[in-house]
Amino acid sequence: MEAIMAENKGRTKGETMRNSSEWVLEDRGADQFLVNRQVFISDDILQKEWDVIFRTCWIYIGHGSEIRNPGDFRTRKVAGRQMIFCRDKDGAVRAMLNVCPHRGALVCREREGNARGFFCMYHGWTFQTDGSLRSGPGLDAYGPKFDKASHGLVQAPRLEHYRDFYFINFDPNAVSLSDYLAGAKEYIDIVVDQSPSGQMEIVSGTQEYDIKANWKLLVENSVDDYHIITTHSTWINYMSNSGVDMRRPKGSLLPSLGAGKNLGNGHLTTDNPNYRGRPVARWISVYGEEAKEDIDNIRAELVARLGEARAARVADTNRNLVIFPNLVINDGSSVTVRNFTPVSPGLMKVTSWALGPVEETEAQRARRLHAFLTFYGPGGFATPDDVAALEAAQEGYAAWREAPWNDLSRGMYKSEDDQLDTDEGHIRTFWRRWKDLMETAA
């Protein structure tokens, strides 16, 4: 490893690294795990990520609650492709390319709505909600061999869901979504168990913002509890001044106490005791005295339905769950479903939604949305500070030739089972998966 590091350090301007085995270096003997900063700034590497990671992994497209009724649709860019996520007139969920089979124009230019079909504004072809070609001006002119059936919208090769979270895959031979999700399913189950009926819904309204940083930095940041005490000192001071005991454990101010977990296939999570309250079933003073009885009642329902131990698992723990490669479910003071996509090596687009049980009352929903807005929101306590940290790191990577390595070795001397959320063990599992996929492609 030292030899490779020394060699790369001496490389001259314009020279690229030789192969992907040099991007992530792991030396278990030396308890050292390094990621080359070129992976955050290289156009070639991003192109390879599009070809490999975003084409062969299961990529989140949306939640079933967003398209409840036949004809409901959402358009969004997923894995770099313009997609229509909709429920067709027969009630089947569809994921189709928003690309006209004629000459490629978008066939739906609305972000969301309810439609009886889709209309291409360029030459006027129209499509059913299942993607089949319905009509077009003068289609006879194509002659008798024109096959209408083969001129429908292209369906995503694979579309599967788990607990109403829908994912697509452009690799027809990919493993099932269930196998792909591996240990992440257990954590999705904990999130969904908040709802008495097992039905969660995306709350109307979307947060969208750009971060001038590489998309993989948000994977790391979403589960990096090492940064909390410094990056989020404003929030910690606010919470402490609001009467919340932020000292964990034994008087330490470091808010770590949970675990960082490898869930298989590149998925990972933090798994922490809750100390900052949950709108579902864990009251703290910042919610106000008037909310206490309501929150206690929610907890009683959880205990009656799930038993004491499972209720405590749902109510008294938080998790920031990363589904490889680009979906994060933050389940803490609110539930945030956060999706992010690269635009260029140094720019990503972030979209996030609040998720909540369908049964929530107006007051309960208001508490949830308040937390969604004030903590993880783009103007909240957490996100602006995270964005500043990520953009500062991205700035630093311009000097990748002279200062080539990120160090992710924290906690590496310990076993996998002993990794804290403030260690970097769970983040290493992301990088190992990333490296495996990129090397397979090479």
Site residues (CB under 6 A) for ligand FES?
100, 102-105, 120, 122-125
Q: Are 72 and 111 in contact (CB under 8 A)?
A: no
Q: How many whole angstroms separate alpha carbon 200 and alpha carbon 291?
A: 21
**Among 71-79, 277-285, 385-393, 412-420, which window interacts with Fe ion (CB under 5 A)?**
385-393
123 makes contact, choosing from Fe ion, ligand FES, none, with CB < 5 to 8 Å by partner type, with ligand FES
The residue among 234 and 285 lying less far from Fe ion, judged by its C-beta, is: 234
- Closest approach of Cβ 315 to ligand FES, in Å? 51
In angstroms, give the least distance from the CB of 221 to Fe ion: 6
Q: Which does 247 bind (CB under 5 to 8 A by kind): Fe ion, ligand FES, none?
A: none
Query: Rule CB under 5 A: is residue 66 a binding residue for Fe ion?
Result: no
The partner in contact with residue 212, picked from ligand FES, Fe ion, none with C-beta cut-offs of 5 to 8 angstroms by kind, is: none
On whether the CB atoms of residues 345 and 210 are closer than 8 A, the answer is no
Strands across the sheet containing 24-27? 24-27, 32-36, 405-407
Using CA atoms, how far apart are residues 168 and 62, in angstroms rounded to an integer?
A: 10
Q: Which does 100 bind (CB under 5 to 8 A by kind): Fe ion, ligand FES, none?
A: ligand FES
Smallest Cα–Cα separation from 348: which of 328, 326, 329?
A: 326
Q: Based on the shown chain and the rule CB under 5 A, indicate whether residue 386 belongs to the binding site for Fe ion.
A: yes
Of residues 104 and 205, the one with the C-beta less far from ligand FES: 104
CB neighbour list of residue 19: distance below 8 Å, 6 or more residues apart: 442
Q: 194 with 329: CB under 8 angstroms?
A: no
Question: For residue 344, what is the enclosing H or E element?
Answer: strand 335-344
> CB-wise, 105 or 441, nearer to ligand FES?
105
- Rounded to a whole number of angstroms, the minimum distance from the CB of residue 126 to ligand FES is 9
Question: Binding partner of residue 292 among ligand FES, Fe ion, none, CB under 5 to 8 Å per kind?
Answer: none
Buried b (16+ CB within 10 A) or exposed e, 126-161: ebbbbbebeebeeeeeeeeeeeeeebbbeebebbbe
111: partner contacted, choices ligand FES, Fe ion, none (Cβ within 5-8 A by kind): none
Cβ proximity to ligand FES: between 125 and 180 the closer is 125
Structure tokens at 135: 């009509």
CB of 372 to Fe ion, least distance (A): 15
Least spacing, CB of residue 75 vs ligand FES, in Å? 15
Q: Of the listed pieces 40-48, 83-91, 380-388, 421-429, which binds Fe ion according to CB under 5 A? A: 380-388
88 binds Fe ion (CB under 5 A): no
- Round to whole Å and give the CA distance between 85 and 183: 26
Using CB atoms within 10 Å of the CB of residue 436, give its burial: 0 to 12 exposed, 13 to 18 middle, 19+ buried: middle
Phi, psi of 60 (to 5 degrees): -65, 130
Q: Between residues 67 and 259, which has the closer beta carbon with respect to Fe ion?
A: 259
Which of the listed partners (Fe ion, ligand FES, none) does 170 bind, with a CB threshold of 5 to 8 Å by partner kind?
none
**Residue 439, token pair as written in the block:** 């090397």
Task: Name the minimum Å distance from CB 141 to ligand FES.
Answer: 13
| The pair of three-digit structure tokens given for residue 328, joined into one six-digit string | 């994060």
Residue 125 binding target from Fe ion, ligand FES, none, CB below 5 to 8 Å by type: ligand FES
Instruction: Using the rule CB under 5 A, give the single segment among 142-150, 361-369, 383-391, 408-416 that binds Fe ion.
Output: 383-391
Q: How far is the CB of 97 from Fe ion (least distance, A)?
A: 35
Beta bridge pairs of residue 201: 356
Distances (CA, A) of 268 to 220, 271, 398: 10, 10, 29
Question: Which spans of this chain sit near Fe ion (rule: CB under 5 A)?
Answer: 386
